[in-house]
Amino acid sequence: MTDRLGGSRFVGGPDYVALSEQTVRTFLAPLAEVSALLGGEATQWTVREVGDGNLNLVFIVKGPKGGIVVKQSLPYVRMVGESWPLPLDRIFFEYEALKIQSAAVPHLVPKLYHFDRGMAAIVMELLEPHLILRKGLIGGIRYPKLAEDVATFAAGTLFATSDLGSPAVVKKERQSLFCNNITLCKITEDLVFTDPYQIAPMNRWTTPQLDDVAAEFRHDSALKVAVQELKWMFLSRGEALLHADLHTGSIMVTPNQTRVIDPEFAFYGPMGFDVGAFMANLLLAYFSQSGHATKGDDRRAYQVWILETLETFWTTFNRLFLAHWREGGGDAFPKPLFDDAAGEAALDAYRIKTMARLFADAIGFTGAKMARRILGLAHVEDLESIIDPDLRAQCEKRALRMARTLMTERQTLTSIHEIRDMAETIEREPVR
Ligand code: SR1
Ligand code: MG
């Protein structure tokens, strides 16, 4: 079997077999720690396959004492089928990334119980009663701690894995490992940065309502330069270990708790990509709200909450990242070089300038991650669940207008207030 690049990177064990609700018990029974967590006998365990993502199998297993989750890679893209093979070993990158993230922000990622590379499976904590954030946003639920928690996750993981927060030798070892996550990076390179801007077999959009705007995206040279600059950054700037798929389907929540899951796309890339991914998905949720309005709730108040969350997320990320940097810990900008007042002032001015650059990067990636969910292969439930195609297209056109502006004007948009104002203005104005 060959992958999309023509190579063979299927590093599952010779005994790899996709699990089923029937075989999960046999897989788990010999694992002492897992069996103890579940309690009772394997015959008493209930198993349910619940995966609704694009790629993998996910089983929830419950026993008399407790529950766990088994996540297993399939050797192909679940949402497309066996015609699109994928390396099983993506689960290895997910496992390695989860370990690194858990060292930086243990309270924000699931606990790991077992990893079986041959079976391409991770056994981990069952997050209950957590809900996938995207579903909560569609349902109009408020999460008071969300902005701060995701900012803590992003600032903590990005800083700790960058040259600002880790010794160069550690970073290089990790970078050399994660640079093998080639096929999943290529998915992003194609689906986020390339396909929405050309005729591609897997693209789809609400048609005929969006035909014109899709064509405009394919013919707008300034936009294509802007998105290719972002792609170049994604390809070449290994600043930190990214989650690299930080959308609202990769976050599980209760009103009091947040957990970030699913880092199988992890690799060393530009930090703004993770920040932008989260902001993009908040904005997609924002623009989809009129499609979820009911007689009793026009969702306006909820939209205000989403924009407040966006603003708090960036301001908290900015503050926390700067705080980490002022503490230091990495090989870049060693403290002894700046040990007098003038040195410290110069360094701090540079830190502030870097955060402005990171904001501009993040804003550009926000735009790219919004557009791909409307014009590319993989869409989002926020918009897809709007049944009336005219109403859905109206929400999508607004989101695309914002996406395009974010990509082409990212260097002149300097504050999160401007982003918030832009979203509110676009939402108010009639859709052409
Ligand atoms: C073929 S995979 C489609 C998308 O699903 C994942 O969540 C990533 O976002 C990827 O681009
Ligand atoms: Mg995922």
**Which domains occur in the chain, in start order?**
24-125 (3.30.200.20), 131-428 (3.90.1200.10)
Low-confidence residues of the chain: pLDDT under 50: 1-9
Q: Which residues contact 56 (CB under 8 A, 6 or more apart)?
A: 71, 72, 73, 74, 78, 91, 264
The closest ligand to the CA of 78 turns out to be 1
DSSP string, 128-151: -S-EEHHHHHHTT---TTHHHHHH
Q: Which atom of ligand 1 is nearest to the CA of 250?
A: 7
Predicted local confidence at residue 13, as pLDDT: 72
Q: What is the largest CA-CA distance in the chain?
A: 69
CB-based burial label for 237 (10 Å; 0-12, 13-18, 19+):
middle
Proximal ligand: closest to the CA of 193:
1
Q: How far is the CA of 11 from the centre of ligand 2 (A)?
A: 20
Cα distances from 85 to residues 21, 160, 162, 179, in angstroms, run 23, 33, 32, 20
Q: Report CA(326)–ligand 1 centroid distance (Å).
A: 35
Closest atom of ligand 1 relative to the 249 alpha carbon: 7
DSSP-derived pairing of the beta strands 240-242 and 131-132: unpaired
DSSP 177-215: HHTT-HHHHHHHHHHTTTGGGS--TT---STTTTHHHHH
Centre of ligand 2 to C-alpha 137, Å, is 17
What was the pLDDT predicted at 432?
A: 85
Nearest CA to ligand 1 atom 11: 188
- What pLDDT shows up at residue 47? 98
Protein residues with CB under 6 Å of any ligand 1 atom: 54-55, 77, 187-188, 191, 245, 378
Per-residue pLDDT at 271? 99
- What is the end-to-end Cα distance of the chain in Å, rounded? 47
Contact 110, 58 (CB under 8 A): no
Token pair 């976050």 in the structure block, residue: 251
Question: Strand, helix or coil at 126?
Answer: coil
